[in-house]
A = this chain, B = another copy of it.
Amino acid sequence: MSQDTAAKLPPEAAEELDAALREFIESRKLPLYHMMSFQLGWKDEIGERAQPGPPPRVHGSFTLASAHAVGGDYRRAIDYAISVELINGFWLIHTDIEDGNTERAGRPSVWWTWGPAQAINTGDGMHAMARLALFRLTEKGVEPHRVAAAIRGLDEATVRICEGEYLDIANQDRLLMATSAYLEMAESRVGALFGCAARFGALAAGDADDRLALSLEAFGTKVGTARQLASDYDTLWPQGNRDQVQQGRMIAKKKNLPVVHTFESADPATKRRLGEIYMQRVLDPKSLDEVAHLCEAAGGREAAAAAIHRLVEESQENLERSGLGQAGRSLLREEGRALVRPHS
């Protein structure tokens, strides 16, 4: 851990991000934006203050931390952070419909509250708004080629998310999936946006060179992928209650690393028993403990822990290669660890 506390991101940064994100959305008055405000955690369905309040802005905060680590003013990264938060928000709205999640972060999901038609459309609007956030940079004097580079990065990450999401849905009803294919899928579906978020910190700092920007992108991508795997791990071996969204994904037979590992490499009897459980249209929640037991016996728990460890190592190798100074590397190392904790 860093001895250089000056490198820490000021604690007010998260509040400044949330306030700027809120102002950007709530300055628009159509009820379409009220649904966005609901998703982002400020309002409940009738427009009152939401309980619980906004979730942590993990993607946007990662961008601010990255800008700060590079030596830039994190305030100049706020519009970048807003754009990654809006991409994440649009994707959560859509994935909740796709997965049939009735809840998100302890509150009803958007489609559960307003129906799938309005929810699809609200997500689409948030998707377009993500880019309009970046155009505010132009008004603040950022050169067009920098704005264009950021937008391109955002769209490339979004295409990767959709590619990953395609694979996630396509593999829902299949039993056999290679561990390597699963890892690629998790990297596209979840890692890519964290990679974009980290790279945006370097772009916001302005004079970052390509090596730094690409290293931070690779660092963020590995961190995001590790975070998904850690979430997979926690769903099977939770500390406390299972996360409802992740449990819903498992019941809908969305794959996770321990299950993929077990289907791939367990002995025939274990595979057959796991196959019987996965033969159901949806899993019985009561069967999750047996799934966890089968996976653990087949080495899936160990394999998942090893994969998380390896990804965290790889993330840090990219950080070492970045050319970033000691204090900046320390800050981002801790940020990366916090995104994967408490899972690993």
Contact = CB atoms under 8 A, between A and B. Distances in A.
A125 B170 CA distance: 15
B97 A162 contact: no
Contact of A121 (B30, B129, B162): B162
A144 B149 CA distance: 9
Nearest to A160: B128
A152 interface: yes
A132 B157 CA distance: 11
A329 interface: no
A170 B118 CA distance: 8
Identify the interface centre among A117, A122, A167: most chain B CB within 10 Å of its CB.
Answer: A117
Interface string A145-183: 101100110011011011101110110000000000000
A67 to B, nearest CB: 21
B125 A97 contact: no
Interface residues of A, number: 44
A170 B131 contact: no
A264 interface: no
A32 interface: yes
B125 A163 contact: yes
Contact of A97 (B117, B129, B143, B163): B117
A120 interface: yes
A81 B132 CA distance: 21
B120 A166 contact: no
B120 A94 contact: yes
Contacts of A314: none
Contacts of A165: 121, 124
Nearest to A93: B120
A148 B155 CA distance: 13
A287 interface: no
B121 A32 contact: no
Given A30-B163, A120-B94, A162-B121, A155 B138 contact: no
Contacts of A158: 124-125, 127-128
A135 interface: yes
Contacts of A170: 31, 118
A167 B163 CA distance: 31
Given A94-B124, A124-B162, A148 B135 contact: yes
A191 to B, nearest CB: 17
A152 B169 contact: no
A50 to B, nearest CB: 20
Contact of A135 (B116, B120, B152, B167): B152
A120 B98 contact: yes
Nearest to A114: B169
A122 B162 CA distance: 7
A98 B125 contact: no
Contact of A132 (B90, B118, B143, B155): B155
5 closest cross-chain pairs (CB), A and B: A125-B162, A98-B117, A144-B145, A128-B158, A32-B166
Interface of A: 30-32, 90-91, 94, 97-99, 116-118, 120-125, 127-129, 131-132, 135, 138, 143-145, 147-148, 151-152, 155-156, 158-159, 161-163, 165-167, 169-170
